[in-house]
Structure 1
Amino acid sequence: MSFWRGIFRHENREATPESRRLYARFEIAHTIVDFLAALCFIVGSIMFFSDAWQIPATWFFTIGSIFFAMKPSLKLWREIKLYRMGKVSELADRLQ
């Protein structure tokens, strides 16, 4: 199976207790990043009501945007790790 067809498969998440733990950790990280991004946008929006706070507000929007960009990066990283974990299991099974 090719690499791109092998990632984002539900079976990779449920294959072993280790893969389930890894999936759970990444889901927690994804939720934290999502919360931080939303918080930055809320703070930036409130700060934008004052002319004196527009530069810090812009920084909050920029930081929030970086957090939003981290979300798909975390998902891709998680799926690649899960895919590789499955490949290691296959190799171990072949050796037996």
Structure 2
Amino acid sequence: MVLFDPDNRSRSDRHRRIWAAYELGYTVVDFCAALLFLVGSVLFFYPAIETAAIWFFVVGSAFFGLKPTIRLVRELHLLRIGDLDDLAAAAKR
């Protein structure tokens, strides 16, 4: 099994469930990051709350940093269970 191979998501029912769970998490993080940046942008219109706007951008940036982390963790998870499935199949022969 190779990292970031599109076929990894459909190797088994277990792979599909794991893929879906990580995609849900990825989408939630993506939505939160966009929302934080949008709110931070609006807050910059009001100089009195500029510090809050900066914090929204910092937290939003952290969320954007989580996105590739989620993808990498998902791929490693799929790779790990893929190897176990391959070993089990080989043991049956």
TM-score under structure 1 length normalisation: 0.92
User: Of 25, 49, 69, which aligns to 2:45?
Assistant: 49
Per-residue deviation at 1:11? 2.0
User: Of 56, 61, 68, which aligns to 2:57?
Assistant: 61
Secondary structure of the residue aligned to 1:30 is: helix
User: Of 21, 33, 40, which aligns to 1:37?
Assistant: 33
Number of the residue aligned with 1:73: 69
> Take 1:10 and 1:65, find their aligned partners in 2: how far apart are those partners?
27
**C-alpha distance after superposition, 1:3-44 (max 9, x if no partner):** xxx111122110000100100111111110000000000110
Per-residue deviation at 1:71? 0.4
> Take 2:89 and 2:78, find their aligned partners in 1: how far apart are those partners?
17
User: Of 79, 83, 89, which aligns to 1:83?
Assistant: 79
Per-residue deviation at 1:66? 0.3
How much identity, in percent, do the aligned residues show? 43
Secondary structure of the residue aligned to 2:4 is: coil
Query: Are 1:23 and 2:12 matched, yes or no?
Result: no
Secondary structure of the residue aligned to 1:49 is: coil
* One-letter amino acid of the counterpart of residue 11, structure 2: A
* One-letter amino acid of the counterpart of residue 60, structure 1: F
Runs of 4+ in 1 over 4 A off after TM superposition: none
Structure 2 unaligned spans of 5+? none
> Take 1:19 and 1:91, find their aligned partners in 2: how far apart are those partners?
16
TM-score under structure 2 length normalisation: 0.94
RMSD: 1.0
